[in-house]
């Protein structure tokens, strides 16, 4: 009696995806169950389109992700030359992966048409992290909020090097007043991924907090952002005069 193979019998390294059960193929799985049901490797496999005689597209995707510790931020930093080092990746596949990840990044940068409300530090983090979390240099950004804490503007204040960026208090509050903000939140990134504030970070926060009180334009929080997460001066009880 012959045995009909199931998905568990397949060797994803050698068997073409087209030979899998239809509901297990990444493209068909997306159509049947929705994109949220696919793993990162399955989504990358769809971008690859095909593998080779020795390896399926899914196995190739899994190998690429394993090389970057299954971290999509790290994958997004790979150049075409980096991706071409993988056996089975040609220029067209490398360009497709880079283009897809860049589209995802740009999606996060689209204008804030829905004006999200900031209720906690994590709300501000999610608004700003796509802009600065994985940069190789420091940048400082500001959120301008209205009286109900809805974000009305997202502004870049300064850009520097790996060790720091200069933040001018006059520029910060000048822009905030110009944009008629009721309060502001400041954020900058640490390319080193160290989330602990430096002495300069603490001094700047204290200076801006006091200036905001004098202008009746409060600094609600100052975030330090990296790929590992964020540090909130407000959450740590360090927004003091």
Rounded to 5°, angle at Cα 153 from 113 and 105: 65
For the chain, which residues make up each domain, given as ranges? 7-108, 121-232
95-146: per-residue pLDDT in tens? 999 999 988 877 766 555 567 889 999 999 999 998 899 888 999 999 999 9
Q: How far apart are CA 92 and CA 78, in angstroms?
A: 15
**H helices, E strands: number in the chain:** 9, 5
Structure tokens belonging to residue 212: 């905001």
pLDDT recorded at residue 112: 56
Residue 68 gets which letter from DSSP?
A: T
DSSP of 123-190: HHHHHHHHHHTT-SS-EEEEEEE-TT-BEEEEEEEEE--SS-----HHHHHHHHHHTT-SEEEEEEE-
How far, in Å, CA of 232 to CA of 196, rounded? 10
Pick the CATH number of 121-232 from 3.40.140.10, 1.20.120.720, 1.10.287.370, 3.90.1150.10: 3.40.140.10
CA distance 88 to 54: 9
How far is it, in rounded angstroms, from Cα 59 to Cα 49? 12
- For the stretch 53-80, pLDDT in tens is 888 899 999 999 999 999 887 898 899 9
As a whole number of angstroms, the distance between CA 98 and CA 93 comes to 9
For 181-225, write each residue's pLDDT tens digit. 999 999 999 998 899 999 999 999 999 999 999 999 999 999 999
């Amino acid at each position: 009696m012959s045995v009909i193979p199931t998905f568990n019998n397949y060797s994803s390294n050698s068997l073409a995806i087209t030979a899998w059960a239809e509901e297990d193929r990444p493209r068909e799985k997306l159509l049947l169950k929705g994109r949220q049901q696919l793993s990162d490797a399955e989504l990358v496999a769809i971008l690859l389109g095909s593998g080779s005689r020795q390896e399926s597209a899914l196995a190739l995707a899994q190998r690429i992700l394993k090389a970057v510790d299954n971290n999509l931020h790290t994958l997004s930093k790979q150049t075409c030359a980096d991706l071409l080092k993988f056996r089975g990746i040609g220029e067209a596949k490398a360009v497709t992966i880079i283009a897809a990840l860049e589209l995802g990044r740009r999606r996060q940068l689209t204008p804030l048409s829905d004006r999200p409300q900031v209720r906690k530090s994590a709300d501000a983090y999610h608004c700003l992290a796509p802009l600065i979390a994985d940069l190789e240099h420091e940048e400082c950004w500001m959120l301008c909020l209205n009286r109900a804490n809805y974000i009305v503007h997202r502004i870049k204040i300064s850009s520097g090097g790996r060790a720091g960026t200069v933040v001018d208090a006059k520029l910060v509050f000048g822009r905030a007043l110009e944009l008629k903000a009721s309060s502001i939140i400041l954020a900058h990134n640490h390319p080193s991924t160290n989330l602990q504030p430096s002495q300069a970070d603490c001094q700047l926060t204290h200076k801006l907090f006091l200036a905001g009180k004098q202008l009746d334009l409060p600094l609600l929080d100052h975030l330090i952002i990296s790929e590992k997460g964020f540090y909130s001066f407000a959450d740590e009880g360090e927004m003091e005069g």
